[in-house]
Amino acid sequence: MQESAGIGMAASAGPCANIPVDHMDFIRQVLDRVGDKWSMLIIAVLEGGPMRYTDLQRQIPGISQRMLTHTLHRLTEDGLISRTAYAEVPPRVEYALTPLGSGLHGIVKQLIGWAADHHGEIRANRSRADTATASSA
């Protein structure tokens, strides 16, 4: 295993080669958070600028109120989105990408595009795998 300034590295080659071992758990947590479907869709939807909660819910079919609230909270904690509450009657809250979240947006958009472009092929592969599994059982 590679050593750099006395710090053990996660791997000797590949994408983890330059990551200290003591950083890997946190990096896995970050990847888990930004890689979940709801986080990626929220980041993609916020590309056009700040949005209110109900607008986000309309733009992301299938997300429950509970999951939207939970995911917005987590993304805000990580600094990927901002939450701005306006002192109005009725109260208004808007969510927007931060500079950190904007940096992730391009990657998320590419991944969503790739999934959309290849969904038919992946669906067919899953169907073949399900048929093969059922045949062998």
pLDDT tens-digit profile of 3-40? Answer: 444 467 767 778 877 888 888 888 888 888 888 889 99
137 or 46: which leads in pLDDT: 46
Judge whether 44 and 34 are in contact, CB under 8 Å. no
CATH number attached to the domain at 36-136: 1.10.10.10
The helix-helix angle for 21-35 and 37-45 (nearest 10°) equals 70
pLDDT for 134: 83
Q: In angstroms, rounded to a whole number, what is the distance separating the alpha carbons of residues 124 and 130?
A: 10
DSSP SS3 for 20 = strand
Q: Which structure tokens are listed for 21?
A: 């071992």
pLDDT for 101: 94
Domain extents for the chain?
Answer: 36-136
Q: Which structure tokens are listed for 60?
A: 């992301």
DSSP SS3 for 57 = helix
Mean pLDDT computed over 41-55: 95
This prediction's pTM: 0.77
pLDDT for 93: 95
**Each residue's pLDDT tens digit, 75-106:** 999 999 999 999 988 889 999 999 999 999 88
